[in-house]
Amino acid sequence: MTTNESGATPQETATATVKRNRNGWETFIKTFNESDSYKEVAEKLGIGVSSVQVRASKYRKNGVQLKKMARVAGGGAGAKLDWDKMKTFANGLVQSEPEQVSLTAADVGTVEKVLGSSEG
């Protein structure tokens, strides 16, 4: 059986990690309301900032009062999106009309020859 440097098996390590990161609603609410930022809550609970934001949003939608915190700006889940810039970028990648291709009689003959040889 394999163990890590502390002598724990992979299953024991995984179980310890799950137990460490599994926080009940009482712990979450108390920690959240005693903290100053989503990042602080995440660090105290051993979970990701986005997990804290999602969980807080879900609790609020279900009537649980949690203190207000500013969302993290600058590319995180709370960053303001520039929809017009995104549309312009996406529209530049998608062609509105398929490109027209002109084939000569020789090109058509070559295509027919290739298709004919692949059937047999």
Q: Do you know the residue count of the chain?
A: 120
Residue 58: the pLDDT is 93
| Structural domain boundaries in the chain | 10-95
Q: What is the DSSP letter of 97?
A: S
Rounded to an integer, what is the distance from CA 120 to the centroid of its chain? Answer: 49
User: Tokens 């986005």, residue?
Assistant: 50
* Percent of the chain's residues with pLDDT above 70: 64
Please state the pTM of the whole predicted model.
0.46
| Structure confidence at residue 10 as a pLDDT band (50, 70, 90) | low
> 35-44: per-residue pLDDT in tens?
999 999 999 9
Write the CA distances from 36 to 63, 66, 71, 112, integer angstroms. Answer: 21, 12, 11, 71
User: Taking the CB of residue 55, how many other CB atoms lie within 10 A of it?
Assistant: 19
